[in-house]
Structure formats: structure tokens, C-alpha cells
Amino acid sequence: MSGSGSGLVVGVDVGGTFTDLFLLDPASRSFRSCKVASHRGDEARGFANGLSLLCRDESGSPKNAKRFLGCPSCLAPADDIMPLEALRIAGAVVHGTTVGTNALLERSGPKVGIITTAGFRDVLEMRRRDRRRVWGLWGDFIPLVERDMRMEVGERTLADGAIRRHVDPTEVRAATRRLLAAGAQSLAVLFINAYANPENERRTAAEIRSVWPNEYVTASHEVLAEIREFERFSTAAINAYLQPVVGAYLAKLEAWLAARQFGGGLHVVQSNGGVMSVASARRLPVRTAVSGPAAGVVAATALAQAAGFENVITCDLGGTSFDVSVIAAGKAAVAPQTTVDFGIVIRTPMIEITTIGAGGGSLASVDRGGLLQVGPESAGSVPGPACYGYGNARPTLTDAQVVLGRINADRPLGELKSLDVEAAKRAVATHVGASLGLSVVEAAEAIVQVAEARMAGAIRLVSIERGHDPDHFILMPFGGGGALHVAALIRQIGLKCALVPRLPGITSALGCAIADLKHDVVQTVSLMLDELQVEDLEQRMLIAGRAAHAVVAGAGILIERTDIVYELDMYYLGQTHTLAVPVCITDGTYGPLGLTQDAMRAAFEQAYSVAFSRLLPGLPVGIMSLRATAIGKRPAFDASVFAPQPCSSLEKARQGERQVWFDGGWRQTGIWSRLDLPAGSVIQGPAILEQPDSTTVIEPGFSGRTDPLGNLILELAS
């Protein structure tokens, strides 16, 4: 076992509306959680507020204890933790953040300078000849780095790695001075063919770093040593764009923790679902692009496996977005690259997540054609939905749920004491009902139905349209609002059932607390399988494995062992795209990998057959790149920590009834305290299950069953 600090871990997920926190003490099998408002533009504030609330002594405040601890009426899980000391003795704070993503989407980052090879100044604008509007001839694209901030220098490395022209330090210094004078706060070095030989880039970066006033200097080979110039240039330029933003944010968090005598380390969740150190995050912030949503998929994988499910479609519905991902055979789908916005391409391994603007704060409106739209614009946390009472008069999805009686206005999420039902009704009636000639409840129902249709479309995109049979998958909704829509999504998609986690509203924070460490090293090799020297390839793979292992070992967080997964990006001759093919897994030792040409070919053919249901016999096979991923295994998460408490009972859970709108009419609906339900409870719909972090709606015709781990299994009633 390596790393430092105690086993006590705090997971923090900063979303667009709420910041969720989860404190886990594996030794005593106890936990504590809370949800506070996020502060857009000052995300560190929500982080600090949440940690202060999570770690304060609440023994004299039963109301707060009931609201923010794992079990609302039995304080046993939290009694084992000394809250005043929790932050000081914690082994780690692991953070999932959207700070970098928001900076990209809002173009709120700093001015960046680029030094590139003469003649390649416009690679970032040429892109891949894609168009914003597929069927139009016109479209706009504004690169992250303005053209006059891209300087050319005379150097040239050939595709085989030979250096035709060495870089001139005098020319580099002159370009650097011009960029500094123009106001550049960070700088990227993007040289052609640097993946094949980084020598010119390395010399240039060293020259720049000797005079640059801060640490924000990126060389493309340090971020992505892989062929394809646009993807490498784009990824490195984005890294330079994010370094000042993410670096300043993380420095602020570290200072806040240090001032409170934090005894462990701050770590960040990557887009691939792994954890990295703050030092790595400052150097490679581009790897945090979908940090928070990726943590949710990590937690969903662990919870589903503990409950006995291997195939899962995850649905994370927060305040601003609806994020969907697929877990097949117990593994999350991982993509080699993504596009954050048009033309903003990031090539780094990340969990495949499809995102639409359909969160609880998504605004509803009627367009000029008379069609009801929900999202993508969001009210966020400030001003938030109309029912928050912070000045917004436009209706949101949350307002519609309040009007329909599905959200309890007296028990809202987060720190609000109550919701303004009348404000929600006015917003829905004024902006939707009046335009469509509907009553306020009919308009609210229409808002929910349109949002659910968009959600169902996103689920079909990642399942049916990619060859997955929904009948073989369960749905796992989480986030503050996911469980409100679970029955409708089961019905529309045809899934067999849904598993609602014990604490759906803090699932991503849980993922932060339990995620393994990961680091990827990729190197282009450009070899044909029939012609390669296996020993040489093995040696290069082992070097990459050692480099990845060193990063994980130096992260300073408690791990039990390190596995290294070796993959090859392979293709049939003549194909443009490659397929990632796992060829070997080791336990971190560096003996021979035992590779053979026949074994690599068999692995490729198996992966190709699974992906495309056919082979292309007779065509030569190539290897474009090798990849080594070091995985630092954290102590296994015991999901029984969420098991219902012995004091749970149906009598205690029953909270009465209220009128809730379903299928065009009001229905008398049972109200239950979700966290007080004992294992084996069966609740027939219609029913509302309430808890501090989320609300679950069991529609008429559905039933919910509590399993031994506290999950709710929801399915059509037989």
C-alpha cells in the first residue's frame, strides 16, 4: 500500500447550481454529506461553504444534522466521525470541477500566445473542414487564440523525426517578447511533427520558461505525443488557455485548506474517471474537461456492480444539464477525444458522456413558431428557478415540478428553507400557459413532457443508435433531479427497470471520493504489424508504462496497488480511424510483456469484430500509437455503508399524502421519507419519496423496492 494520509476522504463536486460533498470514513463505515449552492464565477466559494458545513460540529443542532447527514432520523453513521477534526485528519480532498469547461464554453479565459512552425499559423482555424451548420455554406468560428497572437519561427522536424532545421533561440526570444508585450498570460509551443521528435519543442519551451513570468507554458508533446496536427495543436492550445484559470482556482482552494490545517492532499478528478494530483492538474488542466460528470459515472459503476447489475445507462440531471453515459459489462465507455464546442477539440481519453441542456434550471419558453422549448439556457443557481425567489420570473423545469406538486415546496434541496409556489405558477402561466392557451398545471405538465422527450432522445443516442438493446440495460438516474423523471424514461425507452442510488443527489461527489488514480501516456509509433520488431515495441511500451506509473506513485494518495493497462491503436491499411485494442495488463512490474504478432492480430480482430460485426481479411494491419495507462487502485468501496439502518420502518417513513398531478389529473399520492424505508420495502405508485438531496417520483403503474444496500429498484408493476 502506498500514498500518505488517513483513509478519510472528502469528495467535492461543483456543479452549475449545487456543490455536493461526501465525506467517507471507510474504517468506521460512516459518512456525511451535504449540498450547498454553487457560485458561478467564484466556484471556490461553494467549495469552501460546503466543507465548512460538512466538517462543523452539529451535535447541538439536530435540525442541521437531520438535513445533512446520511441518515435523517438515526445519527449512528455520523457519530463515529469527529466533525471538527475531520478536515484536519482527512487523507484527501478529491474534487470534480467544471471550471475549465465553463471557461471554454463562455470564452472567459485569458489571452494566450502561440509560437509555431513557419507556415502553420492557421492550423487551429483550418480544423477538419467541418462546418457549424451542416447544410449551410456560412458559419463562423472564433479560435481561442487570435491570429495576431500566433507567432511563427523557422524550424522544421520531418515526419520520420529527422530535424531539417534547428530552432533559433534568438528568434524564439523575440517572438516571446512580442507576445508578452501583447498581453499574453500563457503560451503554447506547437511545432509540426513534434510527436515524432520533440527536440525543437523541448529547446524552445526551455528558452521560454527561462524568461516567462509565470509557470503557464505548454509544449504540445508534453500534452499529446500523438500524430494528427490539428488535434495535437488544439489540445495543447486549450491546455494553455486553461492553465491560468484552473491554476488560480486550485491555488485558491489549496490556500483555503492550508489556512484550516488540512492534513492531506487536494486532488482532481480527470475526464477519464481517474484522479490526479493538483500538480498534474495545473500542468494538464485540459484533462479535467468533463471532470464532475465523469465522477458520477465512476460512482454509478461501483453502485451498480454492488447491486448485481453490469449494464447500466446513467442519467445525471443537475441544475444546468442532463448527462448520459453507458456502462456495458461493468465498464464505462471511454472515447479518445471530444468536442466541447464547435471547433474546440480535445484529444485525451475521457468517459463518453452525452450532454444536453435539460437540467432543473433549464428555462422554458415558447418560440416564434409556437413551439414549447426547454433549455439549453439555464437559470443556474443565481437567480435560479422562479420559485427560489431570487428575482427570476421565467419558468424552469423545477418550477413546473413544483406546480405539479412533485417537489415539496417546504423541503427544497440545498440551503433554501422553502420554495415560492405562487412565483412558480406565475412564471409558468405567463410565459407558457398564456402563449399556448393552457391552464397553469397543463402548461407545467407540457414543460415536463418536452424535457423528458429530450432526455429520452439523449438516451437513445447512446444506447439504441450505438447498437445496445435497452431491454438488457437498467437506468440509473442521479443528480438532484434525475429521480423525478425515472418512470417516464423507463416507459419511453423500454428499459427493464431503474436503480435509484441511496443518495442520488450526491452521486458525483461519491465518485470523487472512491475514484482510482489514473494517468495515460500515448506515443505514436506508425508501424505495420507484419514488419515490426516485437522486442522494440515492448521496450517502448515499458518506457511509457514506467512514465505513467511514476505519475501515479507521486500523487500522494492512499492506494493498494498499481495496474498498468497497455493498448495499441490499430487499423486496417487504408483506414483513417484507429481502434484502441487492449493487449496486456500488468501489476506494475516491468518484466517482458510476452507480446507476439499473432496475439496482437487476434486481439485486434476480436475488438474489430465487436465494434463493427465483421473483419476485413487479407488487409495488412497497422499500429498507429501505443498507450499505457497506470491505474492506482484505491481501497475497495463497501456499498453496504448505505444499507438502511435498523431503526428504519414503514411507519416512520410514512409522511402522509398530498395531491400530485399525473396524466392530466390530480391524484392522492403517498409521501414517504426515502431514507427511513427499511430493506425489502415495496411502495406502489403513485408515490413521492423525499430526502434531503433528491426527490423520487413513482408514477401510477410503477412500484419501487428497497434493496439491502438502500437502492430503490423501480419498475412497471406486474
Closest CA to 527 of 449, 595, 467, 457: 595
Q: Give the burial class of 618: count Cβ atoms within 10 A of its Cβ; 0-12 exposed, 13-18 middle, 19 or more buried.
A: exposed
- Which amino acid type is present at position 465? E
Main-chain dihedrals φ then ψ at residue 320, nearest 5 degrees: -120, -20
- Cell 444546468 -> residue: 320
Length of the chain: 718
Instruction: Collect the ranges in the chain with pLDDT lower than 50.
Output: 1-5, 57-84
Closest CA to 237 of 120, 407, 333: 120
CB 217 within 8 A of CB 186: yes
Provide the whole-model pTM.
0.87
Give the pLDDT confidence of 590-642 residue by residue, as tens digits: 778 889 999 999 999 999 998 888 999 999 999 999 999 999 998 888 898 89
- 431 secondary structure, DSSP code: I
CB 510 within 8 A of CB 11: yes
Closest CA to 279 of 293, 268, 292: 268
CB 496 within 8 A of CB 467: no
Give the pLDDT confidence of 546-568 residue by residue, as tens digits: 999 999 988 877 788 999 999 99
Beta bridge partners of 559: 2
**CA pair distance 96, 28, nearest whole angstrom:** 25
Cα–Cα distances (Å) from 195 to 24, 43, 526, 547, 624, in that order, read 42, 36, 11, 16, 12
* DSSP string over 102-135: HHHHHT-S--EEEEEETT-TTHHHHTTS--SSTT
* DSSP string over 249-312: HHHHHHHHHHHTT--SEEEEE-TTS-EEEHHHHHH-GGGGTTHHHHHHHHHHHHHHHHHT---E
572-603 burial, b if ≥16 CB within 10 A, otherwise e? beeeeebbbbebbebebeeeebebeeeebeeb
Cα four-point dihedral sign 165, 171, 173, 176: negative
Does residue 383 have a cis peptide bond before it, meaning omega lies within 30 degrees of 0? yes
Give the pLDDT confidence of 173-212 residue by residue, as tens digits: 999 999 999 999 999 999 999 999 999 999 999 999 999 9
**CA pair distance 137, 45, nearest whole angstrom:** 45
